[in-house]
Structure formats: C-alpha cells, structure tokens
C-alpha cells in the first residue's frame, strides 16, 4: 500500500476531527505512517511517506514544504482555510473522487523554488528555501531605500523605492501580483523582479531565467529594513549584507486536482478576467 503522512495547522484544534476523518477514508487505501497537527513536516520523513496530506490553508502548505527542505515529496493540499489557492482539495472532494491518488502516479505540477542566502558583513549566514518569494521591505522609519541588483555578476538596476519582490512562478499570484507584477504559468522556470512603489516609472517588473544567480545589496537602508521569505522568515538587512538568490536544488511537488485546469484557481478564486459587475 502507498505510505502517506498527514500534517495540519496546530493553531486550529478543530482540525483534529478533520484529521481523523481523513485517516478513516485513507485506511482501506493507504498506510498512514504519520499523522499530527504540526507545521514540522520533517518529522514524517523517517517513515518515508510517498504522499503528504496537508490540512489547512496555503500558509500551512508553504510551511510544510519549507520543512521538507531538499526531501520533497508530493503534497496534497486539503483546504480548510479561506482562499486555498494552492490547496486544491477539500475532504468532501477526496471522499468522493480521491481514489485516483492510489490508482497510479498522481498528476503533479513540479514548481521551482528559490534558494535564499543572506550573507552578513560579519560572516554570519542565513539560508532557506522560498516557495513564493523573497521580499526586501523598507521598514521604519519608512524612508525610501536604494537597492543594487546584479544577475550573474552583471549590474541589472539600481532600484529606489519601498522595496523589491523576487518571486517564483508559484508566488507570481501572491505579493508579486498585488504589486503589479506579471502572472506566470506555475511550471515556469523563471524568477520575477518586481519593485515595490518605485521612485521612477522607468522601473518595471523583470522576468529572468531560473539559471541566473541574483545578488541584491542595499546602498541606502532604514533602521527597520528587512528581508522576508514567504511572509514567515524575517531577517534585518543592512548595507554590509547581501542576498544571493538562485534555484533551489529540489522542486516543490504539488498534486493537482485532475478535475480542474491549471487556470481554475486563477479564474474562480482570484476572479482573473471576470467582467466588472454592472
């Protein structure tokens, strides 16, 4: 039988009932080798699951992918949150239609991630993967900052404004979209550089191939200038530091709902292309 693991948001005690309901549905179909309400999906890895069910919203799913690091396994997102953009299934849908998960290889979208490495002037290093994005924010006292961007050692731009978003294709519909960046197909092997409130109209979003190594330095910062990865890991960013971004060695493997096109969530949840209400 297929070995599966289940994790879920520990901040939602009501999920215990959902977790047990999922276990009961899985019982005749798979062997559940780990089941716990935790963000730390790495605790399931010693049991070698072939599928990871994640209960919660997109934030819970992203946390689970982070904790898998380079040991990525296919993730089935079970939405019990609000939007559920990445989490394509509900428990009801799995109970009605989920047998396909065990009748052959499940349909996957293989999505690239960012390897984020913050190198401080004192030699200290912070690094982690990013599913959606790495963002530099001006921070208090909220004066304009100046960032220097290079790609493969060549100068790309000096950006003045409120910050910069470096996004994956998965993150193109997140902070990047809100800041006016382009939407990419989820499997695109590309990174997006989107300035936040740039000082000049000449700064526009830029799409780069994921084989590039991107380096971001700050020439002018505020006391609170910060690097934020996927909205969860926050690190101060100062003039002695630099951020080195490249493609992460492992890809994020998201099980796709075969009854939905890859554009379903974009059209039905973000209302892309919808006509204005009359």
Which CATH number covers residue 32? 3.40.50.10330
Active site residue 58: yes
Convert the pLDDT of each residue in 172-228 to its tens digit. 999 999 999 999 999 999 999 999 999 988 889 999 999 999 999 999 999 999 999
Q: What percent of the chain is modeled with pLDDT above 70?
A: 99
For all residues of the chain together, what is the average pLDDT? 94
| Whole-prediction pTM | 0.94
Residue 273 lies in a domain: no
In whole angstroms, give the CA distance from residue 130 to residue 196: 19
Annotated catalytic residue, options 58, 133, 162, 241 = 58
- Specify the pLDDT at position 268: 76
Residue 20 lies in a domain: yes
Q: pLDDT higher for 273 or 107? A: 107
In whole angstroms, give the CA distance from residue 30 to residue 98: 12
- Specify the pLDDT at position 251: 98
How does residue 260 score in pLDDT terms, banded at 50, 70 and 90? confident
Claim to verify: residue 198 and residue 97 sit in the same structural domain: no
Claim to verify: residue 151 and residue 226 sit in the same structural domain: yes
Claim to verify: residue 122 and residue 242 sit in the same structural domain: yes
Claim to verify: residue 44 and residue 10 sit in the same structural domain: yes
What is the domain extent for residue 240? 114-247
165-169, 226-230, 261-265: the lowest-pLDDT one: 261-265
Claim to verify: residue 257 and residue 240 sit in the same structural domain: no
Cα-Cα-Cα-Cα dihedral sign, residues 157, 158, 161, 162 = positive
Claim to verify: residue 213 and residue 258 sit in the same structural domain: no
Claim to verify: residue 124 and residue 221 sit in the same structural domain: yes
Q: Which of 133, 202, 130, 120 is nearest to 161 (CA)?
A: 202
Number of domains in the chain: 2
């Amino acid at each position: 039988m297929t070995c599966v693991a289940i994790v879920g948001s520990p901040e939602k005690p009501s999920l215990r009932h959902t977790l047990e309901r999922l276990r009961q549905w899985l019982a005749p179909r798979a062997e559940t080798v780990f089941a716990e309400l935790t963000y730390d999906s790495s605790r399931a890895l010693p049991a070698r699951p072939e599928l990871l069910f994640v209960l919660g919203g997109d934030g819970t799913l992203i946390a689970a992918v982070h904790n898998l690091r380079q040991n990525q396994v296919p993730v089935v997102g079970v939405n019990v949150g609000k939007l559920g953009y990445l989490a394509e299934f509900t428990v009801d849908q799995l109970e009605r239609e989920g047998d396909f998960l065990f009748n052959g290889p499940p349909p996957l979208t293989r999505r690239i991630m960012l390897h984020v490495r913050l190198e401080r002037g004192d030699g200290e290093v912070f690094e982690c993967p990013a599913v959606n994005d790495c963002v530099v924010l001006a921070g208090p006292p909220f004066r304009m900052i100046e960032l220097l961007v290079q790609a493969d050692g060549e100068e790309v731009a000096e950006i003045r404004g409120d910050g910069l978003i470096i996004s994956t294709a998965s993150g193109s519909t997140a902070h990047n979209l809100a800041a006016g960046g382009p939407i990419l197909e989820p499997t695109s092997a590309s990174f997006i550089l989107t300035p936040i409130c740039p000082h000049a109209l000449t700064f526009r979003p830029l799409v780069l191939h994921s084989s590039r190594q991107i380096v971001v330095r700050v020439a002018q910062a505020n006391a609170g200038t910060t690097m934020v990865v996927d909205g969860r890991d926050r690190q101060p960013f100062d003039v002695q530091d630099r951020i080195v971004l490249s493609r992460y060695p492992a890809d994020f493997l998201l099980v796709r709902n075969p009854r939905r096109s890859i554009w379903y969530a974009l059209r039905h949840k973000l209302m892309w292309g919808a006509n204005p209400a009359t």
